[in-house]
Amino acid sequence: MGQAITIYSSKGGVGKTTLASNMGASLAKQGFKTLIIDTDPQNSIAGVLGLELSNGLSELLNYSAKFEDVVIKTRDGFDFIPAGVEANRDTLEYTQLLQDEPYFVKESVIEEFGHLYDFIIFDTPPGFNPMANSAMLASNIILGLLEADPTSYATLDLMESILSKIRDANEKEILFVINLVDIDDVSVDFEKLLKFVFEDRYLFSLPYDSNVKKAIANCESIYTNYPESPYAVMLDEMMKIFLEKIGDM
Ligand SMILES: Nc1ncnc2c1ncn2[C@@H]1O[C@H](COP(=O)(O)OP(=O)(O)OP(=O)(O)O)[C@@H](O)[C@H]1O
Ligand SMILES: [Mg+2]
């Protein structure tokens, strides 16, 4: 059974989808069999990969498609299951189904097909909701992502209280990643503060890098055209530390 990882944040727009897709590319280029599952009805991962809306998790949930029908092989070497057409068309129904069946993802996806992969990464919509809950229940590792800025820092208490409840109920490993650190501004102060709060739960800080948006605009991972960029180099470093850390768990 592979490692299942949820990328979670209380605040929106902190870089979860960017991290999930580039982590997938990083793991795939290291030879790991990797699956990304997008639980976000925004279908953002399909967007950053430049893919049309297609069947995915929402069609598994309403039993209108099978696992093998919704898995997409990406150019970056990882497999991908989008949130799906129904998730986008009727988000209320999709959310309700996940709320009614919070263990669907764990039991019908991870326990059935997890053996096919070394890593499964869940992208989630921001905040605590049935999508994030289902992903976290199906994961053994949660990566909490924060932006090194005052508005993200302001969500820290909320994030801590949700994640500690999840951890205590299910014995998950929770690690924190800080994104968008810019050495030229106040974000470095927030980075210091967050590192201090997280202590040994701190995993890594990723830099602000204008190449990130350029790569997304081309529907490519950061490694395709910007392998020497700060984000790519630091993400490689982060993945090294992450793999060592989970090897010791
Ligand atoms: N390290 C970075 N440097 C520069 N830009 C970044 C970085 N990380 C993310 N971004 C940019 O920030 C924006 C938001 O990123 P992203 O969509 O990944 O956030 P998100 O947390 O998934 O948002 P949502 O909560 O809506 O799902 C995007 O335009 C992305 O390109
Ligand atoms: Mg996103």
pLDDT at 57 over 80: yes
The pLDDT of residue 169 is 78
At residue 239, does pLDDT exceed 90?
A: yes
Structure tokens, 223:
């490694």
Q: How many domains does the chain contain in total?
A: 1
Q: Which residues touch 120 (CB under 8 Å, ≥6 apart)? A: 2, 3, 4, 5, 34, 35, 36, 37, 110, 114, 139
20 Cα–ligand 2 center, Å? 9
**Region 210-223 average pLDDT:** 97
Mean pLDDT (the chain) is 95
- Buried b / exposed e across 199-214, counting CB within 10 Å, b at 16+? eeebbbbbbbbeebee
Between 71-80, 132-141, 149-158, 200-209, the lowest mean confidence (pLDDT) is in: 149-158
- Domain range for 192: 3-248
pLDDT of residue 245: 93
Assess whether pLDDT exceeds 90 at residue 177: yes
Please report the pLDDT score of residue 93 as a whole number: 98
User: Residue 247: pLDDT band by 50, 70, 90 thresholds?
Assistant: confident
Nearest CA to ligand 1 atom 29: 213
Q: Is 217 in the pocket of ligand 1 (CB under 6 A)?
A: no
Q: CATH no. for residue 86? A: 3.40.50.300
Q: Among 220, 242, 209, 229, which Cα is nearest to 15's?
A: 209
pLDDT recorded at residue 172: 87
Q: Average pLDDT of 188-192? A: 92
Alpha-carbon distance of 222 to 245, in angstroms, equals 24
**pLDDT > 90 fraction of the chain, expressed in percent and rounded:** 87
pTM of the predicted model, to two decimals? 0.97
Q: Which atom of ligand 1 is nearest to the CA of 12?
A: 25
Nearest to 37 by CA among 26, 50, 29, 23: 23
Q: Which residues neighbour 130 within 8 Å (Cβ) at sequence distance 6 or greater?
A: 95, 96, 98, 99, 102
Q: What is the pLDDT of residues 82-131, one digit of tens each?
A: 999 999 999 999 999 999 999 999 999 999 999 999 999 999 999 999 99
| 22 ligand 1 Cβ < 6 A | no
What pLDDT is stored for residue 164 in this prediction? 87
Looking at residue 168, its pLDDT comes to 80
Q: What pLDDT score was predicted for residue 167?
A: 82
Q: How confident is the model over 17-52, as pLDDT tens digits?
A: 999 999 999 999 999 999 999 999 999 999 999 999
The β-bridge relationship of strands 202-207 and 79-81 is unpaired
Residue 203 has pLDDT above 80, yes or no: yes
Asked whether 8 lines ligand 1 (CB < 6 A), one says: no
Res 249 pLDDT > 80? no
pLDDT at 181 over 80: yes
For residue 166, pLDDT over 90 is answered with no
